[in-house]
Amino acid sequence: MFERTKIGPYIIVLAIVWTLLVSLSLGWNFVQSQRGIVELAKAEARGVYNKDLVYRRWAAGHGGVYVPATEETPPSPFLAHVDERDIISPSGRDLTLVNPAYMTRQVHELARAQYGLRGHITSLNPLRPENAPDSWEADSLTAFEQGVVEVSSVEEMGSESCLRFMRPMITEARCLKCHAEQGYKPGDIRGGISVAVPLAPYKAVAVRHVAGLAIGHGALWILGLTGLCCGASHVRERVRQRDRAEHELREVEKALEDQRRQQQRLESIGTLAGGVAHEINNPVNGVMNYAQLIIDKTDDADVRIRELAGEIVNETERVALIVRNLLQFARQSNQQHQSPARMADITTATLSLIQTVMRHDQIQLQINVPEDLPTVKCRSQQIQQVLMNLMTNARDALNERYPEYHENKTMSVVAREIEEDGTNWLRTTVEDHGTGISQEVCDHLFEPFYTTKPDKSGTGLGLSISHGIVKDHGGRLTVESEVGKYTRFHMDLPVR
């Protein structure tokens, strides 16, 4: 039937683009929040480191501090060379000197136990062997020696992932008190402090954040798709309407084309018939004249011959009638001028001709043609011929259905003014309740030589001539019928 404009693929492409956009945004947000975690952890690490440094500086500023010597804090073997490493307070308590690195180590141990923070003071050349760096710290320390001032990265430490952060410790003059022995000069990289911040708490926050984002994006995505679907169905409906309109237009064009072709066919048949009729006319007249001659020249005694010749004349007259009709059909624009006429007068004239026949057939006539209807400009003789033709057809149909008298054996002729297609028409309708006409027959009814009457009573020209006459008047002749019920012929003539 009619081809649909496909919009499905466009919608799918749009849906894919939308999905990509939303996923891209979600992905970007996810990456941003991961980056945020690292930045936050780094900030914390830096803070922790700074605090370490400050305490260290404080301790170093004092050249180390004295604390009570206990099992956890025994006198440092590395300070054995320092005078007054161990002293006794006036009240008799044992005090020992704690160097800054010692303090830092102990503080780191506390922090680790309490907060999970890991700090480590280390050096590539450790005084205390246990202070040796791990591989990450060793790499960082080497980097510091090349001039790098800060190293940080996310590393797996045991089972947890941590942000590792490290800065160098530069040898100062006051450090030399205890580290000069190792050969350090001020400005040398003595070592460094590394801090590790577990990422788990930050990740927990980030997961909540990302979950929120995901829900938001999901809602947005569904909203977009819904909008897309609504739009699509709207567009689809519009397209359907357009297709339907186009389809109807094509139908109308086809109907017009059919009508034009039918018209052309009638015209060409008319031309052909006219030509043939013209040719036949002369020989027919000849035959008729010769038959008449036979009658005239034969003795009265020869009755048989005169009878047969009479038959020839009758039959030839019939041929002549057909030929005349044909000629009329062929050149319908007659010589007669069109002049205003009243349908009532035309009807009366027609009735005067066929009333007797109708009465004989016991057909009841119902005539309703008001005198005050507008006049029509026409060749009244021809219109009368049409009306006669229609009424004769109706009569035949009634006689076929009811050979004898019947109360339904009625024919009506009604005239009235109607408005259709923007024109005022005078419509004269001839209606009978006879045999009716099938649709198939209706289609050919106005073609010349088309007849449904089995015997020789019709020439098959009547309706085609009537059709031509009415058309010639700018009017139209139409039929509606139902088999076994009724037949209605409408003769519409324009009111001018």
Q: Enumerate binding residues for ligand HEC (CB under 6 A).
A: 60, 63-64, 76, 78-79, 99-102, 105, 121-123, 126-128, 131, 169, 171-172, 174-175, 177-179, 190-191
Residue 151 or 363 with smaller CB distance to ligand HEC? 151
Residue 49 or 425 with smaller CB distance to ligand HEC? 49
In the complex, the smallest distance separating the C-beta of residue 63 from ligand HEC, rounded to whole angstroms, is 5
In the complex, the smallest distance separating the C-beta of residue 182 from ligand HEC, rounded to whole angstroms, is 7
**Sign (positive/negative) of CA torsion 449, 450, 453, 458?**
negative
Q: CA 193, CA 196: separation in Å to the nearest integer?
A: 10
In the complex, the smallest distance separating the C-beta of residue 40 from ligand HEC, rounded to whole angstroms, is 28
Residue 121 or 326 with smaller CB distance to ligand HEC? 121
Residue 169 or 426 with smaller CB distance to ligand HEC? 169
Q: CA 406, CA 391: separation in Å to the nearest integer?
A: 18
Sheet holding 94-98, edge to edge: 65-68, 94-98, 86-88
Q: Closest Cα to residue 401, out of 435, 428, 425, 366?
A: 435
In the complex, the smallest distance separating the C-beta of residue 155 from ligand HEC, rounded to whole angstroms, is 21
User: What are the helix (H) ranges across 298-342?
Assistant: 303-330
Residue 121 or 378 with smaller CB distance to ligand HEC? 121
In the complex, the smallest distance separating the C-beta of residue 159 from ligand HEC, rounded to whole angstroms, is 28
User: What are the helix (H) ranges across 361-425?
Assistant: 380-401
In the complex, the smallest distance separating the C-beta of residue 82 from ligand HEC, rounded to whole angstroms, is 6
Count CB-CB contacts under 10 A for residue 42.
Answer: 19
Contact status, residue 197 vs residue 51, Cβ threshold 8 Å: no
Contact status, residue 370 vs residue 344, Cβ threshold 8 Å: yes
Task: State which residue has the least CB distance to ligand HEC.
Answer: 175
Residue 365 backbone phi and psi in degrees, to 5: -100, 135
In the complex, the smallest distance separating the C-beta of residue 46 from ligand HEC, rounded to whole angstroms, is 19
In the complex, the smallest distance separating the C-beta of residue 176 from ligand HEC, rounded to whole angstroms, is 8
Residue 81 or 337 with smaller CB distance to ligand HEC? 81
Class of residue 77 by CB neighbours under 10 A (exposed 0-12, middle 13-18, buried 19+): exposed
In the complex, the smallest distance separating the C-beta of residue 88 from ligand HEC, rounded to whole angstroms, is 19
Residue 127 or 280 with smaller CB distance to ligand HEC? 127
- 427 dihedral zone (left: phi>0; alpha: psi -120 to 50; beta): beta
Q: CA 339, CA 179: separation in Å to the nearest integer?
A: 141
Residue 108 or 433 with smaller CB distance to ligand HEC? 108
Task: Write down how long the chain is.
Answer: 496
Residue 167 or 473 with smaller CB distance to ligand HEC? 167
Residue 152 or 194 with smaller CB distance to ligand HEC? 194
In the complex, the smallest distance separating the C-beta of residue 174 from ligand HEC, rounded to whole angstroms, is 6
Contact status, residue 274 vs residue 329, Cβ threshold 8 Å: yes
Q: CA 233, CA 287: separation in Å to the nearest integer?
A: 79
Q: Three-class SS string for 186-246?
A: CCCEEEEEEEEEECHHHHHHHHHHHHHHHHHHHHHHHHHHHHHHHHHHHHHHHHHHHHHHH
To which H or E segment does residue 88 belong? strand 86-88
